[in-house]
Amino acid sequence: MSTATETPKPHLLELLWRAAPEAGRGPRKGLTVDEVVAAAVALADEEGLEALTVRRLAQSLGKAPMTLYTYVPGKTELVALMLDTLFERMATTDAEGPGWRDRLAAVARDNYALYRAHPWAAAASPSRPPLGPGQCAKYERELRALEGLGLGDVEMDDALAHLLAFVRTAARDAAQSEAEREASAMSDAEWWQANGPLLAKVLDAERFPTAVRVGQAAGEAHDAAYDADHAFAFGMERTLDGLAAIIER
């Protein structure tokens, strides 16, 4: 009881910063945390977040499922680790001009590209990501785009969070509508043939005049294929305009 050798399970923070105690007794470890995380990222990239199961991941590493719990306390922590490595290796581009707007636009585009390349990340990432090295470096780098604009520290954090939340949502919506279109057995024509009559009957222009008019215009404009990217482009300009209101005052 009192002499029980407590093996405190590694907290998430220790894993993120790779601050494991490095014990020496017992058999050698056949893997590293990085290998597990890398395999998980590869699997999620190729087959999506729902294909990332403990069993599949263990299989891809040539181990039994339960073995992974030696390296990671649970699936939640695994996803956090995946996200942080993604942030650490994130590609960045230079701003296209000297102004704050160019810098923030580059930040937005880089994040959008990241989430489009790894759709599982947009779906998985929580509002406040865990404070790993990758996240911290990203936060530092992106905050610099807002430095020297006359904003207070709190405003800088608010502004960045606002921009990043928009990008993440846009990417998530884009990936989702893409997945829905792929998963849908019906083509657009088939869907319209099946549901068109009912829709026409029920969406009369007297009950919903504005909705019918605007909805039809929007549907024709972007034929649902480039819908998501258009929404991102529109939203990014609006978001930057919104930030301009507190920057250029």
Site for DNA, rule CB under 7 A: 5, 7, 23-31, 52-56, 63-67, 69-71, 74-76
The partner in contact with residue 53, picked from DNA, a copy of itself, none with C-beta cut-offs of 5 to 8 angstroms by kind, is DNA
In the list 137, 192, 206, 229, the residue contacting a copy of itself (rule: CB under 8 A) is 137
**C-beta of 2 vs 210, nearer to DNA:** 2
Candidates 46, 211, 225, 226; binder of a copy of itself (CB under 8 A) is 211
Length of the chain: 249
Q: Decide if residue 10 touches a copy of itself (CB under 8 A).
A: no
Helix H or strand E segment including 86: helix 75-88
- Give the burial class of 113: count Cβ atoms within 10 A of its Cβ; 0-12 exposed, 13-18 middle, 19 or more buried: middle
199 binds, among a copy of itself, DNA, none (CB under 5 to 8 A by kind): a copy of itself
DSSP secondary structure of 50-68? GG--HHHHHHHHTS-GGGG
Is 240 a binding residue for a copy of itself by CB under 8 A? The answer is yes
112 forms part of the interface with a copy of itself (CB under 8 A): no
Return all residues near 192 (Cβ < 8 A) that are at least 6 apart.
none
From residue 145 to residue 184, the character string flagging contacts with a copy of itself as x (rule: CB under 8 A) and all else as - is: --x----xxx-xxxx-xx--xx-xxx-xx--xx--x----
C-alpha dist (Å) from residue 75 to 29, 49, 163: 20, 12, 28
Distance from chain centroid for Cα 207: 39
Q: 201 vs 98, 210, 211, CA distance in Å?
A: 54, 17, 15
User: 8: which DSSP letter?
Assistant: P
CB of 67 to a copy of itself, least distance (A): 26
Q: How would DSSP label each residue in 113-166?
A: HHHHH-HHHHHH--SS----HHHHHHHHHHHHTTTTSS--HHHHHHHHHHHHHH
For residue 200, state whether it binds a copy of itself (rule: CB under 8 A).
no
Closest distance to DNA from the beta carbon of 28 (Å): 5
For residue 149, the number of C-alpha atoms closer than 13 Å in the C-beta half-sphere is 25
Show the beta-strand stretches assigned E in the chain. none
Q: Does 241 bind a copy of itself (CB under 8 A)?
A: yes
- Binding a copy of itself (rule: CB under 8 A), the pick from 64, 117, 218, 225 is 218
Residues that bind a copy of itself (CB under 8 A): 11, 13-14, 17, 19, 126-128, 131, 133, 136-137, 139-140, 143-144, 147, 152-154, 156-159, 161-162, 165-166, 168-170, 172-173, 176-177, 180, 194-195, 198-199, 202-203, 207-211, 213-215, 217-218, 221-222, 230-231, 234-235, 237-246
